[in-house]
Structures are given as C-alpha cells and as structure tokens.
Amino acid sequence: MGIMLLALVALTGTAMAASDYTITKLEVNGEAPMGSLHVTPGEKISIHVNVKGLSATERDVRVQAWLGGYEYSLIQADTGMFKVAKNVTYQKYLTLELPNDLNTSDNGYTLHVKIYGANDVVEKTYSLFIEEPRHNLQIQDVVLVPGTTLNAGEVMYAKVRVENMGYKLEEDIAVEVSIPKLGASAKTYIDELNSRNMDENSISSSTLYVRLPEDAATGDYEVNVKLTYDRGHTTVQETRMVHVNAVVTEESASSNSLVSFEAVKSELTVGKEQVFHVLVANMDNATGVYAVEVVGAGAWADVSVDPAMVSVSKNSTGEFLVKVTPKEEGSHQLTLRVKQGDAVVQEKNMTVDVVKESKLNGISPVWLVAGIVLVVIVIFVIVSQLQGEKVSKDDVEAGQYYHSA
C-alpha cells in the first residue's frame, strides 16, 4: 500500500508539473473573482489575465475568454498568439461585449478564461450575475411612408416599434417624430409596455402624421425619433434621413428669365463624367447674376459647376456646365437649381440610375457591334466586285462578247 501511495503521489506530481504555464491573476472590470460580479446586457467587460511560464518555452499560445448560453452565437474574445518563457509573467487584456438581447431570466452565467497552445490547456472560471437595467427602452424600427423621398407639402406617415429591455413595466411612453429644420413634428403615446422577460414586451405606436411645409427647400433632412418615459426622466433618440423635393411656387417662377436644361440623361455610368448644360436667358431690362446649385448628389457623386456664377446682360444668354461623376451604383436623386441672388428661378428634380461601365478591351459594346457590321458590309462589296470582274474576263476570252463599231 505504501509503494502504491508513493507511485500515486509521483504520478500526480508529474501531471501537475506537466503544464507549461498557469494563470496567476484574473480580474473582470478590475475585480478579482469573489462571489459573482454584476454586469448588464450590452455592456463591454474588461478582462485582465496574468500568464506565468512554468517550464520550457511554449510557443503559439493564446488566451481566450468566452461565455455560453446565448442562442445566436458564442460570445468570445481571443488575444493574438504569443510565446511563454519559464518564470516570466505576461499580462493580457481582453474585451468581451455582452449582447443586448442576452437572456436574463436566469441571471447566473459562467465566464471561462483559458490559456491554450498546441498541447496544453489551463482554464479558470469567473461567476457573473447578468441583470437587465431598471429602465431600458429601445427603438426597434421606424417605418416611413411613402418612403425616404417626399415632396414639399406632403404628409409623411411614421410608425415606431418600441421594445422594453428593462425589468420595469413602463407607462405613458411619449413617441415623437420630427424634422427640426422644417419645424414639422407629431406626437403620440403608448399606454404601457411589459418588462423584458415577459410576453409582448414590444409594440408599435399608432401612426403619426407629419406634414411637410409647402415652401420646404430641396435637400436632405434629419428625421428625429424620440422616446420619453420614466416620468420624463429618460429619453432615447435615433435619427433617419429623408430627401425632400421642393415645389416651384409662383413667386420663384416669376423671374423674367428662361432656363433650359440640356443633355439630361436618366442613366449614368460609375466613374464616367456626365456634363449637364444649363442655359439661362435674361429677359429683364437689367443685367442678372445667376448661379447653379446642385442638391442631393454629394453622397454618391463628385460634382462641379463651371463657372460658379454667370453675369448675363439683358436679352442675352449664359451657360453653365454641371459635371457629375458617379461613385456608386444605384438609383439616386439629383436636383439642379438655378438661382438669381436668393430667389430660385427654376429647378429640375431627377431620378438617375447609375450603372457599372461595361466595355470589352476598352471598346463600348455598341461601337463594337457597329464596327463588325461595317467590316462585313465592306467584305461583301469587295467580294461582289471581284466576282463580277472574273465573270466578265472569262466571257470575253470565250468569245461570247463582241465589240462592234
């Protein structure tokens, strides 16, 4: 029995000494593992691990922190690969982001921290108590009708989907949708919304009606969506973008100037410059100074206007070259606005489709087909002429043709 006990101790000692490294320190958010650490869904937790080498140098080592129990993926973070030398301590830092929709019906979770290489694995665990915050409403979705492109004077219809991710039942939730730069807004209320781990903890607001001013200028505007709850002490805000097309009023069209937009194409090509010619005829008795403003193209194209301003004497014309070079595919809004001072003389709203350039060895397919057709025609004409000459010569030699004076 004594011999067997000594052998068991020797084997245990060998097994314990088999690890090439160990974890000498583990802290989460600056706290050592004593009981459970309270954290919340959506929080980024900081993990500090000290790794000490015990024996010969071990290469290709990593530290990994992971958390199970999430339905949609494994929550984990890894360090880069490093080597561990004997009697040297290495400090490693990881950040683990907890999903916002992590199930908190059972608050207890285990954080696993392990060092691993080709052969060795050393692991420690840390107990977490994950609990949702007291108040936590979120905007799930915003539905805008008729869409993100509207005309001045139209009504924008909006519905807001709200989700309660806190553990308190929320009451009297104010839902407001507004376009601050246009001074347009609408507001409604949600009477109550169940807490996070209960059924029906999300709901859509009633439809809000936001009327755009009839004199709204063409441009891109922020739509502000705001929730106010917890007796007005807590707010949540998100923004969306809409494009508004102005409506030319009688006042803006009363200028004694005529505007012509030439070479306006509805389909453009990525990376290829398209020139829009804008002609202005001044029918006033005095000289007029004009400028062209391009609205809505800044995000998807490079735009320049040449010249920046044109001075046109009475009964004369001036010309602008608007150069548009698309940067991305898709359907886009573009507005060319001619102004005389601060007054809008005329504007043109367009929807243009941008496509990728399709070429074969630098030759457009249209020109390639035209070239092939032209070559075929030339060859046909040459062959026909050669055949005609050959028949005439053979017939003459055969005596079938005579020349009479």
The pLDDT, as a whole number, for residue 24 is: 94
Tens digit of each residue's pLDDT (9 = 90 or more) over 304-322: 999 989 998 888 888 999 9
In CATH terms, is domain 252-355 a member of 3.40.50.300? no
Tens digit of each residue's pLDDT (9 = 90 or more) over 122-133: 999 999 999 999
pTM as predicted: 0.53
Fold identical between 137-245 and 252-355? yes
How far, CA to CA in Å, does 273 sit from each of 197, 222, 299, 326, 337?
56, 30, 16, 7, 20
Which residue ranges make up each domain of the chain?
A: 19-130, 137-245, 252-355
The pLDDT, as a whole number, for residue 56 is: 80
Asked if 69 and 104 count as a contact pair (C-beta separation under 8 A), the reply is no
* Residues of the chain falling short of pLDDT 70: 1-18, 248-255, 263-265, 358-369, 381, 383-405
In 3D, which of 79, 53, 48 has the Cα closest to residue 64? 79
19-130: CATH topology: Immunoglobulin-like (2.60.40)
Domain at 137-245: CATH code: 2.60.40.10
Tens digit of each residue's pLDDT (9 = 90 or more) over 14-35: 444 468 899 999 999 999 877 8
